[in-house]
């Protein structure tokens, strides 16, 4: 369990698998062979400090007008008294269980963190779901924290959901350091983590509605500490828990629906084997609308959909049709030099959806893991914390369609 002291208050949450390709091989999944996955992706190495607010952009990728940029938040206040902002949390972190979001207004200072909520509605989500929307005053400084939810287990009010026990005293602090999984310092630094071209914002400000995108994995702190310092930073940045603030897409037409993709599958191997311990592979999407196959999206030589970021696909989809979606690792798909109608690859995940509504915007969330058993198992080589919730049997890669 990742217990942190307030005095130390590290900027980094926990993070992923030491040597993803090596670990996949240990579990009988050869890099580039398992389920037709690519061995690795040629995108640049992630380079941000591991503070829970990192992510990697998609250089040169058109955002199709859906993610239309964002304004920088002010750094001179915490909860501002100006206009409110509608906030949701999308939980794509498979080994933490339910998470709640708190705001710590003064970082390591004496002011206690508080749950973000509107009346009785808490900013909270189970894994693989998106929270209810809460309206909050703009938050431009301090830190957002992701907290494991403590709750009584069935039939025993003295036992907490994470296995601990408590006495009959006051209820536990939902924002306590002992349950903290990640800290996102505000404002998020400009660059790949607050990129206006992708709608990524530096704070909970500058837009009417935003989604806090949670991705990555909780790492075992002791296993991570055994690695060289430079490697620790790389592993944390590439694979650990992070959260980005992104402006919500609005539907652009009352006659069609808009679609975005959020890539949160943490063990997609990159196209370049040399980057196996440094990045998560990008994905490409094939869409069958009715009986018609589209060309792959994004189309090479553009980079695929990057890990952690919600990327716009298009805004002119006909809601009267049923849609089949298939996602592929960029490296394997590009190596075949084929398109959606001719590829023989097994997809990383697939799904079929119908009865969509015109005038709506949807997010296709890519969740779960390519090798969930390897991800969730205690192993002397892995640095992933083996606390998957739900269990490995329910954590295979999948597509979930969410209405924006």
Cα–Cα distance measured from residue 383 to residue 15, given in angstroms and rounded to the nearest whole number: 8
Given a contact cutoff of 8 angstroms between Cβ atoms, the answer to whether 267 and 95 are in contact is: no
Q: Where are the domains of the chain?
A: 20-403
Angle subtended at Cα 334 by Cα 332 and Cα 337, rounded to the nearest 5 degrees = 115
For residues 217 and 233, give the distance between their C-alpha atoms in angstroms, rounded to a whole number.
14
Q: Cα separation of 323 and 91, whole Å?
A: 24
At 258 the pLDDT is: 93
Q: What pLDDT is recorded for position 212?
A: 96
Can you state the percent helix, strand and coil of the chain, rounding each to 5? 10, 35, 55
Do residues 312 and 363 make contact, with C-beta atoms less than 8 angstroms apart?
A: no
In the structure, how many helices (H) and strands (E) does the chain have? 5, 22
- pLDDT tens digit string along 347-381? 999 999 998 999 999 999 999 999 998 888 877 67
pLDDT in tens, 279-329: 999 999 999 999 899 899 999 999 999 999 999 999 899 999 999 999 999
Q: For residues 199 and 254, what is the distance between their CA atoms, to the nearest angstrom? A: 22
Other Cβ atoms less than 10 A from the Cβ of 76: the count is: 8
Which pLDDT value is given to residue 167? 55
Contacts for 24 with CB less than 8 Å, ≥ 6 apart:
30, 31, 34, 267, 269, 370, 371, 374
pTM exceeds cut of 0.85: no
Q: Which two tokens stand for residue 105?
A: 């207004």
Residue 33 has pLDDT above 70, yes or no: no
Mean pLDDT rounded to a whole number for the chain: 78
**Residue 160's beta-bridge partner residues?**
152
Helices (H), ranges, 291-371: 330-336
| 8 A C-beta contact, residue 285 and residue 259 | no
Q: Structure tokens of 289?
A: 């609308």
21: helix, strand or coil:
helix
């Amino acid at each position: 369990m990742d217990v942190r002291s307030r005095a130390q208050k590290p900027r980094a949450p926990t993070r992923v698998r030491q040597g993803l390709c090596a670990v996949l091989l240990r579990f009988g999944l050869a890099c580039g062979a398992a389920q037709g996955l690519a061995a690795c992706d040629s995108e640049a190495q992630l380079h941000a400090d591991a503070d829970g607010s990192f992510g990697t952009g998609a250089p040169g990728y058109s955002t199709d007008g859906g993610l239309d940029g964002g304004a920088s938040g002010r750094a001179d206040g915490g909860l501002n008294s100006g206009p409110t902002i509608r906030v949701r949390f999308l939980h794509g972190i498979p080994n933490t269980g339910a998470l709640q979001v708190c705001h710590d207004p003064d970082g390591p200072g004496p002011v206690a963190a508080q749950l973000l909520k509107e009346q009785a509605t808490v900013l909270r989500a189970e894994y693989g779901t998106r929270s209810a929307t809460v309206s909050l005053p703009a938050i431009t400084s301090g830190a957002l924290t992701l907290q494991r939810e403590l709750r009584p287990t069935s039939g025993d009010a003295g036992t907490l959901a994470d296995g601990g026990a408590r006495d009959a005293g006051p209820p536990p602090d939902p924002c306590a350091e002992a349950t903290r999984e990640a800290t996102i310092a505000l404002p998020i630094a400009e660059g790949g983590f607050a990129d206006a071209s992708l709608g990524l914002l530096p704070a909970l400000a500058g837009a009417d509605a935003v989604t806090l995108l949670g991705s990555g994995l909780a790492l075992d702190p002791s296993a991570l500490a055994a690695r060289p310092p430079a490697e620790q930073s790389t592993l944390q940045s590439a694979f650990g828990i992070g959260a980005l603030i992104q402006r919500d897409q609005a539907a652009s037409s009352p006659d069609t629906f808009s679609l975005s993709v959020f890539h949160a599958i943490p063990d997609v191997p990159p196209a370049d084997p040399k980057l196996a311990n440094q990045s998560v592979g990008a994905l490409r999407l094939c869409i069958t609308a009715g009986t018609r196959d589209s060309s792959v999206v994004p189309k090479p030589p553009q980079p695929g959909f990057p890990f952690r970021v919600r990327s716009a696909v298009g805004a002119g989809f006909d809601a009267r049709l049923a849609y089949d979606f298939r996602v592929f690792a960029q490296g394997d798909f590009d190596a075949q030099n084929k398109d959606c109608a001719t590829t023989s690859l097994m997809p990383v995940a697939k799904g079929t959806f119908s009865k969509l509504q015109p005038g709506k915007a949807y997010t296709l969330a890519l969740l779960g893991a390519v090798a969930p058993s390897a991800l969730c198992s205690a192993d002397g080589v892995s640095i992933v914390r083996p606390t998957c919730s739900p269990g490995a049997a329910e954590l295979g890669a999948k597509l979930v369609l969410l209405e924006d």
